[in-house]
């Protein structure tokens, strides 16, 4: 099987989106571009009259000759098969002062199907509208199916800079289905750039910038609840410079039986914004995949590149993204999340932790690259049953990998096969810090720079450490009697070159205490081992006295825990 690169997939997605959009060009007369129009309008009166009397299958072309058209009411499409073609210029339609309306509504009064709007420019004129007028979107899709919105230009929707009830560039309600929002330009919108709650939607090849709230949202937020989209793809868009929102995301809502899937893939993010992608607020979200996106934040806002923190979230994948310069964490997975994957991401220069998992369960953090984090590389905080495997952590200010918990319930993590270099640059933190119970830590490669390679701190107990490798001095600081250490390089609890005294005894202090007497094996033993006596401290065994047959002989002792 031939494996396609992400670059080829992204190029293909953008090419497809722009090809489908085919934004009109080459002059201001729609007729000159081959549009077959049933009527061409060139005045506001003609425009409003045309929308008042639309017939099924009709095509309306809007001339640029007398733009902007200062409309006094919404332009409603409630008939099947209608096509509206604009000249592809900005501010083609601009509501009159005091009109208190938006642009085009589709399926507002009656259900309709097979509607296309392309090349229409809309300016919301927020300075000329009453504040009491809400949700004056540029294009609004309500009860409609098979809708195509392409090559449109939308800006300054009303109300301006108002969350939830502000004017969005494009909005598709939950009653809509089979909606395609492709190749549009939305900028400086009053609320969200594009929001969809449709069943089956494609949002591709759009450029959404200089906005207020989220650039592209897979839900519509109204009256305190989130209407989520089902089976939606957000692909190949260019997004950036929001004042108060993430670039993409989906909000929580009440539990539903089948919510479908959300795919956010191969988008480009930049500039000032909160998260690149955010699953959040109250309620439930499931079946989300965030893949192959590239985004850089200016680092001003303290937000994660990808943040997942709704009440109940299941089946979320964050894979193969490049996230750079975020003022908070690179990827943040929080409360109520289960069944998650964070894999193959490159996270560079987050001011906080590279990947943080707090309170989530049953997940995988695998094959990520975390570089130059302001705090730890990967952090598990009150999480359970998480596999942290095959990651590369470099030049982080604190520990490479941290596992902590507030109680004594076993965390049951696996921390394996990670490469950690350049950790503890700020405070001498360890490569791996374990402060919780019931974990397996094995096969990690740790190049010492700050503190020890592995440190079992307060709360760390009943863990198993095996086959870890370190380069440096005194790499292992593992102290709990119930924890087990095997096959480390350099070896753990190996004592070479002890010298028996005049009575033939050599005392050894173990590298860690043991809950029960460990098994000892020997290298050099002058005259053979005659007796072994264990020493104790409290309830733990902390050393042994070995008696050999030859006083003054060299003795090598190897501790095998169980």
CA dist 466 and 441 (Å) reads 6
User: Domain range holding 523?
Assistant: 494-560
pLDDT at res. 15: 46
Q: Is residue 150 part of a domain?
A: no
pLDDT at res. 2: 38
pLDDT at res. 258: 57
Give the count of domains, the chain: 1
Q: Is residue 55 part of a domain?
A: no
Buried b / exposed e across 205-238, counting CB within 10 Å, b at 16+? bbbbbbbbbbbbbbbbbbeebbbbbbbbbbbbbb
pLDDT at res. 465: 97
Pairing of strands 519-525, 554-560: antiparallel
pLDDT at res. 90: 95
Q: Is residue 542 part of a domain?
A: yes
Q: How would you write the pLDDT of the chain (562 residues) with one tens digit per residue?
A: 334 445 444 444 544 444 444 444 333 444 434 457 899 999 999 999 999 999 999 999 999 999 999 999 999 999 999 999 999 999 999 999 999 999 999 999 999 999 999 999 999 999 999 999 999 999 999 999 999 999 999 999 999 999 989 999 999 999 999 999 999 999 999 999 999 999 999 999 999 999 999 999 999 987 777 888 999 999 999 999 998 999 999 987 644 445 689 999 999 999 999 999 999 877 788 899 999 999 999 877 889 999 998 888 889 999 999 999 999 999 999 988 999 999 999 999 999 999 999 999 999 999 999 999 999 999 999 999 999 999 999 999 999 999 999 888 999 999 999 999 999 987 889 999 999 999 999 999 999 988 999 999 999 999 999 999 999 888 999 999 999 999 999 999 999 999 999 999 999 999 999 999 999 999 999 889 999 999 999 999 999 999 999 999 999 999 987 6
Q: Is residue 10 part of a domain?
A: no
CA dist 351 and 370 (Å) reads 12
Q: Is residue 548 part of a domain?
A: yes
Do residues 361 and 348 make contact, with C-beta atoms less than 8 angstroms apart?
A: no
Q: Is residue 421 part of a domain?
A: no
Q: Is residue 25 part of a domain?
A: no
In 205-333, at which residue ranges do the beta strands (DSSP E only) sit? Answer: 207-211, 216-217, 219-222, 225-228, 230-235, 238-242, 248-251, 262-265, 268-270, 277-280, 284-291, 294-296, 306-308, 312-319, 322-324, 331-333
- Locate all alpha helices (DSSP H) within 418-463, ordered by sequence: none
CA dist 434 and 523 (Å) reads 32
Q: Is residue 296 part of a domain?
A: no
Do residues 125 and 97 make contact, with C-beta atoms less than 8 angstroms apart?
A: yes
CA atoms within 13 A on the CB side of 139: 31
pLDDT at res. 280: 82
pLDDT at res. 197: 94
Do residues 555 and 498 make contact, with C-beta atoms less than 8 angstroms apart?
A: yes
pLDDT at res. 4: 43
CA atoms within 13 A on the CB side of 226: 25
């Amino acid at each position: 099987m031939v494996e396609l690169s992400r670059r080829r997939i992204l190029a293909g997605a953008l090419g497809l989106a722009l090809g489908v959009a085919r934004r009109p060009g080459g002059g201001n007369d729609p007729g000159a571009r081959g549009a077959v129009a049933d009527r061409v309008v060139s005045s506001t009166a003609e425009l409003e009259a045309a929308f008042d009397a639309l017939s099924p299958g009709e095509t309306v072309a809007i001339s640029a000759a007398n733009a902007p058209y200062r409309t006094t009411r919404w332009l409603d499409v409630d008939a099947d098969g209608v096509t509206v073609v604009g000249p592809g210029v900005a501010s083609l339609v601009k509501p009159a002062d005091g009109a208190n309306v938006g642009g085009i509504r589709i399926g507002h009064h009656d259900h309709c199907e097979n509607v296309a709007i392309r090349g229409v420019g809309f300016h919301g004129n927020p300075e000329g509208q009453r504040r009491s007028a809400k949700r004056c979107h540029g294009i609004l899709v309500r009860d409609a199916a098979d809708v195509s919105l392409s090559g449109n230009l939308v800006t300054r929707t009303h109300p301006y800079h108002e969350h939830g009830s502000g004017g969005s560039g494009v909005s598709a309600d939950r009653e809509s289905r089979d909606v395609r929002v492709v190749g549009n330009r939305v900028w400086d919108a009053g609320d969200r750039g594009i929001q969809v709650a449709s069943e089956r939607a494609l949002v591709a090849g759009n450029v959404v910038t200089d906005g207020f709230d989220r650039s592209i949202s897979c839900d519509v937020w109204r009256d305190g609840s989130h209407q989520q989209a089902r089976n939606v793809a957000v692909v190949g868009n260019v997004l950036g410079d929001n004042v108060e929102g993430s670039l993409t995301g989906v909000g929580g809502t009440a539990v539903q039986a089948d919510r479908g899937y959300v795919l956010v893939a191969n988008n480009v993010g930049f500039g000032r914004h909160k998260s690149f992608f955010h699953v959040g607020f109250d309620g439930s979200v499931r079946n989300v995949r965030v893949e192959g996106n590239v985004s850089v934040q200016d680092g001003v806002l303290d937000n994660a590149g990808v943040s997942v923190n709704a009440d109940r979230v299941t089946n979320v994948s964050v894979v193969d993204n490049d996230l750079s310069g975020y003022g908070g964490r690179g990827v943040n997975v929080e409360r109520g999340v289960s069944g998650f994957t964070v894999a193959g991401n490159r996270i560079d220069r987050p001011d906080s932790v590279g990947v943080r998992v707090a309170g989530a369960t049953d997940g995988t953090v695998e094959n990520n690259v975390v570089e130059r984090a302001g705090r730890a590389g990967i952090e598990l905080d009150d999480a359970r049953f998480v596999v942290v495997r095959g990651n590369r952590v470099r030049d982080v200010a604190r520990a490479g990998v941290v596992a902590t918990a507030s109680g004594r319930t076993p965390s049951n993590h696996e921390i394996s096969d990670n490469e950690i270099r350049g950790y503890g640059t700020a405070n001498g933190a360890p490569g791996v810090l374990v402060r919780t119970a019931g974990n397996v830590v094995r096969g990690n490669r740790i190049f010492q720079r700050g503190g020890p390679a592995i440190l079992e701190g307060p709360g760390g107990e009943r863990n198993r450490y095996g086959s870890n490798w370190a380069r440096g001095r005194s790499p292992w600081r593992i102290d709990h009697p119930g924890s087990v250490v095997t096959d480390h390089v350099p070896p753990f609890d190996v004592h070479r070159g002890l010298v028996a005294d005049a009575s033939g005894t050599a005392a050894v202090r173990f590298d860690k205490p043991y809950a029960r007497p460990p098994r000892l094996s020997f290298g050099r033993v002058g005259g053979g081992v005659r007796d072994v006596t264990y020493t104790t401290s409290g309830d733990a065994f902390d050393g042994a006295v070995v008696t050999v047959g030859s006083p003054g002989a060299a003795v090598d002792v190897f501790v095998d825990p169980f």
